[in-house]
Structure 1
Amino acid sequence: MADVSRRVLIAAAAIAAPMLQAAAAPAKRTRKAPPGFLWGTAISAYQSEGNNTNSDAWLMENIQPSMFKERSGDACDSYHRYKEDFALAARLGFNCYRLGIEWARIEPSEGRFSNAELDHYARMLTACRAHGLRPIVTFNHFTTPLWFAMRGGFEAADSPDLFARYCGRAAQHLGGVMHMATTFNEANIQLLVHLFPAFSAGIPKAREAIAAAARATNSPRFSRLAYADPAIVTPIMQEAHRRGYDAIKAVRPSLPVGITLTTQDIQGPPEIAAQYRDRLYGGWADVARSHADFFGVQTYTRFSVDANGFVPPPKGAEMTGAGYEFYPQALANTIRWAHAAIGKPIYVTESGIATDDDTRRIAFIDQALDGVRQCLDEGIPVHSYLYWSLLDNFEWTSGYGPHFGLVSVDRETFARKAKPSAMHLGAIARGNRL
C-alpha cells in the first residue's frame, strides 16, 4: 500500500463510505458463490484513459467525415487517476478489476517499444494488487497503434507475427503482476457488426471515415478492426490469437490466458438460430478449445431470428440506452452455450446495461445474477461476474451519451460519484452470494 497516496484513500472513502453504510446486503441471495469467485468490473484503456493520440481510434475521431458523435479527449483521465478508481472499486467490495493495456502506447512506432509506458502499466497493475484487486488484463480492446492500422491492420497477412511480438514483450514486463489475461476483447466483433442490422447500418458511414483516414495518412491499406472484411480478418485474427497465446505462455507459462467473444443470445427456431450462431462465432469456438485456458462470456441482450432474418424486439419491449432490448436473461443462455460448445472454465467478463435509470440497472444486475446462479446449480463452472463498467466512459461512436457505469464521472472535474447500483452490487460481492 506504500504507493497509494493518503489523498486517494481519503477521497475514495469520502465517496463510498456513507453510501456503503446505508447499503444493506441484498435479500434472497442464499447460494454461496464458489471458492475464488471473482467479483468486479471491466473497463478498457482507450475508453477511460484519455488522450491516446497514437491510436487508430484517435485519428478516426478527429478526421472528417467522422463516424464518432464526439471526441474522447481526456475520457475519465484514468491514465492518471487509476489509483482513485482502484480504491473506489475495492471500497465497494470487489476483489478483481478487468482493465486493458494500450498497444499504441507500448509500441508507438513499429518495433520500438516504450519502456516508460511499460513501467507505467507495471505501476498500475501493482497498485491494483495493492488494493486487493486481482488484475485481469486485456491485451487488445478494439484499438491498434496508428502505424499498424496504416499498414492494413489485421487484414495484413503478417499481422499475427506483429501482435505476438507485442504480446510477448508486454507479458515479459507485466505478466508477473497479472492475475489472468486475454488476448482480444470480443475477438469476433467484426462478425457481429456485419451480421446484425442494428450494427451493420453504420458500415457505409464507417467506410467513408476509413477512406478519409487512408487519405489523411497516405495509406491506402488503412484498416479499422470492427469494420474490416470478416472473410479476410477472421482467420488472420484467429492466427493472431493463437500466436499471441503462445507468446505469452512462452514467457509466463503459469499465467492463465483466455479469450472473450461477444456472446449475444440468439433465439428462434433451433436450426435457424444455430445457423446464426455459427455465423457469429465463425470458428472461434474451435480456437478457444485449443488455445485458451478459460473463456470470457460477454452478453448484453438477445437477438431473435426466423426464416426471413432478424425479428424486431416484441412490441412494447423495454429498450436500453444503447438501443437494444432489456433482456438480462440472455446471460444464462450464453453461459449454457459456451459450456456446451467450448467446455472451458467460464468467466463472465462483461455484463451490463446503458441506462439513466439506476433502478433498472439494479434490476438488470439482479436478473443477470439469477441466471449465473441457475447455471451453477446446473453444474456449469462459472467463475466470475464482472459488470461493464465501473465508470461512465467513452462509448466509442456513441460518445459519452450511453451510461453503463456504476459510477458517474463529471466531464469537467473528473469527480467520481458512486450510484446506488454500485453499492448494490458491492454488497452482493462482499457477501459472496448469488
Structure 2
Amino acid sequence: MPAFPDSFLWGAATSGHQVEGNNTSSDVWAMEHVPGSTFHEPSGDACDSYHRYPEDIDLLADAGLNAYRFSVEWSRIEPEKGRFSRAELDHYLRMAATCHERGLTPVVTLSHFTVPAWFARDGAWNQPEAPELFERYCRQVIAHFAGEVTWWVTLNEPNVGALLSASGLLAYGGSAEAAREDPKETFARRVGGEPSTATVALPVTTPEGVANLCEAHRRARTAIRELQPKARVGWSLTIQDFQAGAGGEQRAADMLRQIVEPFLELSKDDDFVGVQTYTRMVFGPDGPLKQPRTERTFQTGWEYYPQALSNAVRLAASFTGVPVLVTEHGIATADDDLRVAYLREALTGLRGAVADGTAVLGYLHWTLLDNWEWHAGYAMTFGLVALDRETFERAPKPSLRYLGRVAATNGACLDDNSSS
C-alpha cells in the first residue's frame, strides 16, 4: 500500500481541563461541584499536566511521534472579564516551545468545551456578545504566540450539542430522559448569575448558541489570518459514521443534514477540517439502533467499528473539498491489545482513503493519558499512557509504542500483525 505523506502529523491529543487539574475559574469546575450535577466526580488534580507537561511531551517524542494537540484554557488566560493573564499566556507559550524543542508540531485548540465562569454567568454561548468576546480572547492568544504555533483549532466539537439533541443520547450512551435535572439555581449562585441566564457551556443546544459558535469560528479564523497569515486554521467536528438500517434511510440522512452538513459547509473556507470519530450510529425508522454488547464494546457502550474513521474522513473531505486532520480517534478500553487492534484496523482504512486520493494531513489519537472524561469522571480509559492518580506517574502502554512504530514506518507496519 502507498505510504502516508511524508509531512503527515502523527501524535496524540489532550484538552486542558481534562489533564491540567484545578481549572478553578472555569464553568465546568463550578458545575462539577454542584450537588446532583451530571458529572460523576470532580476533575480535581486531573493528571497534573499543568506542571508535568514536559513529561507528557517527552513521552510523545520518545515514542517517535511528531505532533501534540493541546488546548489553552480561556478561563486561565482571562479569569475575569477583560483581564488577561500574562503569566498564563507565557505558560502556554512555554508548552509550544517545549514541543518545538522535542521535535513536535504543536496543534493548539483555543476552546475545548470549557469557558470562563464569568462567560457562563452571562449566558455562555447564548449571549449576543459571545462571538466578539471569543474573538477578543483569540487575538490575545495569537498575538502572544507570535508565530510559535501554525496549527490552530478554534473550537472543539461545536456540533456535539446538535448530535445529543437530535439523537436523544447522552455522551456515554444514556438517554436524555434518564439524565438528572440540571441544578441550574445552584450553578448560577456559584458563578454569580441568575438561573434564567447562567449556563454551563457544554453542550450547546440552543439555536442562538449554535449560531454564535459559528460566528465565533468565523471571527477567530479572520483574526488568525490577519495576525498570522501563514497559519492553518480549522475547527474539529464530531462526525460519527451515520448508517441506515432497515427503514432508517431517512433518519440517517436527516442526522447528516442537521448535525454535520451545516458545520462542514462553514469548513469550506478553512485550511483544514478536524474530524473526530469513534464509532458508527445505525438508524432505524424510530432512531438509533442499540448495538449488542460484545467483549470488544467500548467502556462507553459504543460499538467496536474501526471502519468509522475512514468513512467519516471520506465524507468530510468530499463535502468540503479541504484537507482533513484527524483531531481525535480512539477507544475506551482497559485491554490495550484491543486498542492496538483498533488502531491497526482504523489506520489501515485511513491509509486506503489516502491511497484513493483523500487529502489527510495527520492523525492525532485521543488521548495521550488516561484522564478525566467529563460526565464519566475517571471511569473511562482512552489513553496511550496509564496514570497513577496518587503519584501522577506515567506508564506508557504498548499502544503508544505501536503508534510510534506506525509513524516511523509511515504506515508500512500496518501490514504486520505484531503489536510492538
Fold shared by both chains (TM-score > 0.5): yes
Q: 1:231 and 2:170 equivalent?
A: no
Shift in alpha-carbon separation, 1:322–1:204, aligned structure 2, 3 A: closer
> Which residue of the other structure, out of 60, 83, 99, is the alignment partner of 2:54?
83
> Which residue of the other structure, out of 109, 114, 117, is the alignment partner of 1:138?
109
Q: 1:266 and 2:242 equivalent?
A: yes
Q: Which residue of 1 aligns with 2:278?
A: 300
Shift in alpha-carbon separation, 1:258–1:203, aligned structure 2, 3 A: farther
Q: How far apart are 1:243 and its partner, in Å?
A: 0.7
Q: How far apart are 1:285 and its partner, in Å?
A: 1.5
- Once the two structures are superposed, residues 133-176 of structure 1 have per-residue CA deviations (whole angstroms, 9 ceiling, x without a partner) of 00000000000000000000000011000000001110000151
Shift in alpha-carbon separation, 1:217–1:32, aligned structure 2, 3 A: closer
> Which residue of the other structure, out of 221, 237, 240, is the alignment partner of 2:216?
240
Q: Which residue of 2 aligns with 1:348?
A: 326
Shift in alpha-carbon separation, 1:206–1:288, aligned structure 2, 3 A: farther
Report the 3-state secondary structure (helix = DSSP H, G, I; strand = E; otherwise coil) of the residue aligned with 1:387.
strand
Q: How far apart are 1:410 and its partner, in Å?
A: 0.4
Q: Which residue of 2 aligns with 1:250?
A: 226
Q: Is the 1:175–1:255 Cα contact (8 Å) retained in structure 2?
A: no
Between structures 1 and 2, the one with greater helix share: 1
Shift in alpha-carbon separation, 1:171–1:402, aligned structure 2, 3 A: same
Percent of matched pairs sharing the same residue: 43
Q: 1:283 and 2:283 equivalent?
A: no
Report the 3-state secondary structure (helix = DSSP H, G, I; strand = E; otherwise coil) of the residue aligned with 2:183.
helix
Q: How far apart are 1:205 and its partner, in Å?
A: 4.2
Report the 3-state secondary structure (helix = DSSP H, G, I; strand = E; otherwise coil) of the residue aligned with 1:305.
strand
> Which residue of the other structure, out of 142, 161, 181, is the alignment partner of 1:190?
161
> Which residue of the other structure, out of 347, 365, 378, is the alignment partner of 1:387?
365
- Once the two structures are superposed, residues 401-426 of structure 1 have per-residue CA deviations (whole angstroms, 9 ceiling, x without a partner) of 10000000100100000111111111
Q: Which residue of 2 aligns with 1:178?
A: 149
> Which residue of the other structure, out of 99, 107, 118, is the alignment partner of 2:78?
107
> Which residue of the other structure, out of 390, 396, 401, is the alignment partner of 2:379?
401
Report the 3-state secondary structure (helix = DSSP H, G, I; strand = E; otherwise coil) of the residue aligned with 1:260.
strand
Structure 2: distance between partners of 1:107 and 1:217: 15
Shift in alpha-carbon separation, 1:293–1:206, aligned structure 2, 3 A: farther
Q: How far apart are 1:108 and its partner, in Å?
A: 0.6
Report the 3-state secondary structure (helix = DSSP H, G, I; strand = E; otherwise coil) of the residue aligned with 2:274.
strand
Q: How far apart are 1:225 and its partner, in Å?
A: 2.2
Structure 1: distance between partners of 2:146 and 2:120: 26
- Once the two structures are superposed, residues 221-259 of structure 1 have per-residue CA deviations (whole angstroms, 9 ceiling, x without a partner) of 112222343322111110111011111222111110111
Q: How far apart are 1:298 and its partner, in Å?
A: 0.4
Q: Which residue of 2 aligns with 1:155?
A: 126
**Structure 2, unpaired ranges of 5+:** 413-420
- Once the two structures are superposed, residues 22-42 of structure 1 have per-residue CA deviations (whole angstroms, 9 ceiling, x without a partner) of xxxxxxxx5321120110001
Q: Which residue of 1 aligns with 2:19?
A: 48
**Structure 1, unpaired ranges of 5+:** 1-29
Shift in alpha-carbon separation, 1:81–1:67, aligned structure 2, 3 A: same
Q: Is the 2:249–2:283 Cα contact (8 Å) retained in structure 1?
A: no
- Once the two structures are superposed, residues 48-91 of structure 1 have per-residue CA deviations (whole angstroms, 9 ceiling, x without a partner) of 00000000010011111221111111111110011111111100
Q: 1:330 and 2:308 equivalent?
A: yes
Q: Is the 1:317–1:326 Cα contact (8 Å) retained in structure 2?
A: no
Q: How far apart are 1:197 and its partner, in Å?
A: 3.0
Structure 1: distance between partners of 2:93 and 2:180: 35
Q: Which residue of 2 aligns with 1:31?
A: 2
Q: 1:94 and 2:72 equivalent?
A: no
Larger CA deviation: 376-385 vs 217-226 = 217-226
Report the 3-state secondary structure (helix = DSSP H, G, I; strand = E; otherwise coil) of the residue aligned with 1:87.
helix
Runs of 4 or more above 4 Å deviation: 202-207, 314-317
- Residue type at the aligned position of 1:223: T
Structure 2: distance between partners of 1:46 and 1:212: 21
Q: Which residue of 1 aligns with 2:415?
A: none
Structure 2: distance between partners of 1:229 and 1:92: 39
Q: Which residue of 2 aligns with 1:216?
A: 190
- Residue type at the aligned position of 1:274: A
Report the 3-state secondary structure (helix = DSSP H, G, I; strand = E; otherwise coil) of the residue aligned with 2:110.
strand
Larger CA deviation: 86-95 vs 58-67 = 58-67
Structure 1: distance between partners of 2:59 and 2:203: 35
Q: How many residues align?
A: 404
- Once the two structures are superposed, residues 240-282 of structure 1 have per-residue CA deviations (whole angstroms, 9 ceiling, x without a partner) of 1101111122211111011110010000054432211112126
Q: How far apart are 1:218 and its partner, in Å?
A: 4.0
> Which residue of the other structure, out of 42, 59, 84, is the alignment partner of 1:71?
42
Q: Is the 1:101–1:140 Cα contact (8 Å) retained in structure 2?
A: yes
Q: Is the 1:61–1:71 Cα contact (8 Å) retained in structure 2?
A: yes
Report the 3-state secondary structure (helix = DSSP H, G, I; strand = E; otherwise coil) of the residue aligned with 1:98.
strand
Q: Which residue of 2 aligns with 1:8?
A: none
Q: Is the 1:206–1:227 Cα contact (8 Å) retained in structure 2?
A: no
